[in-house]
Amino acid sequence: MWLKNNPRPDYNYQKDISGCGLAGIIHRQRKLIPGSEIVKSINLMNDRGNGLGSGFAAYGIYPEYKDYYAFHIMYGERADIEGVERFIRENYEVAKIERIPHYHVSSIVFHPRLRRYFVRPKKDRPDREVAELSDDDFVVRTVMKINVEENGAYVFSSGKNMGAFKGVGFPKDIAEFYGINEYEAYIWTGHNRFPTNTPGWWGGAHPFTLLDWSIVHNGEISSYGINKRYLEMFGYRCTLMTDTEVMAYLFDLLIRKHHLSIETACMALAAPFWKDIERLPEEEKMALKSLRMVYGSALVNGPFAILFAHSKGLVGLNDRIKLRPLVAAEKGPLLYMASEESAIREICSNPERVWSPRAGYPVIAWLEEEGTGITAELASISEGASLRL
């Protein structure tokens, strides 16, 4: 539920004990997959949620606006829509503003107002302080500004040619509400949320996004406090009252800002134990010790399984003890990952390969390079085991 006077709830819901479910699909040759596939997959794990949140992320859904950032914004009843849109028009070239299509669902009694904006940062921004920022940095600054200010608005998606669709309800409800079956994408992720220690509300449902990064997560991040304080040193603001938010921002910081490879970023977040590092050859031992010392505050503690999608591919990652389930399967150019094998077989009855990824080692699937047809390396699947600094 969305509070009438404030987009962020100030009380906790009565919760049923349950678990989280997640699912993801990627077609490495960029062929479009109907939304009905991810809906069928995540719906099979309905008993892993309790109706307090679910959502989807889809890549390749806005080809006509692929060079524009797609802002998906939720507004509460008393939101300052005029002020938010004035800021956007002052700082961005606006190609289109529209209501995010959604439908009446009997189980969803109340929901925020939903709009999307296809925008590009202006070169002559009125605020001199941000005039020299890159487009991506300026978009991040915009997301933080809107989400932190008391304007009743929340940007829940801000990438190019992708979008997040989420809210309070079971996956079936949210899929029907947003008309997910009407979309086609070459990467899909879905989530069935059980809020572990955080309230269930529209902005707090998964996925969590920033630019083209999106995260769905099963588990609990006990290092949220130190991760949050670390991110705030770099200008990120965590406002959504949920542990998973830090994951999206950490990947943005480590990969986009600090230029780490995906394998290395995953190794920083799910670092090997010190006892295992000590057994490694000297060169690798020193590299991992340095990584753990430099990024100690980015280390994610607690049980987790995540799917991390971005404009170039899909990544699955477990914590180092594998306290949450994650299963992967492959068939031709398609890779599937989910909390349960049954959720994969619901949409792929005869996969060529099914496996349980190793704890702490990412499964990385790359899209082929757009327009080239090259699939050998760029569209490969790997289980990252090496450190690349």
Catalytic residues: 20
C-alpha–C-alpha distance, residues 370 and 79, integer Å: 40
Q: What are phi and psi of 383, to 5 degrees?
A: -115, 100
Radius of gyration of the chain from its Cα atoms, rounded to whole angstroms? 20
Tokens encoding 350: 């005869």
Amino acid at 212: D
Q: Which residues contact 39 (CB under 8 A, 6 or more apart)?
A: 56, 171, 172, 175, 180, 181, 190
Report the alpha-carbon distance of residue 273 to residue 270 in Å, rounded.
9
Helix axes 135-148, 81-91, angle to 10 degrees: 170
AA letter at 385: A
Q: How far is 93 from 347, CA to CA, in rounded Å? A: 41
**Tokens 């999106």 belong to residue:** 214
By the 8 A CB rule, do 52 and 15 touch?
A: yes
Cα distance from N-terminal residue to C-terminal residue, the chain: 44
The tokens for 381 are 């699947």
Longest CA pairwise span in the chain (Å): 61
DSSP, collapsed to helix, strand or coil, labels residue 211 as coil
Residue where the block lists tokens 């524009």: 68
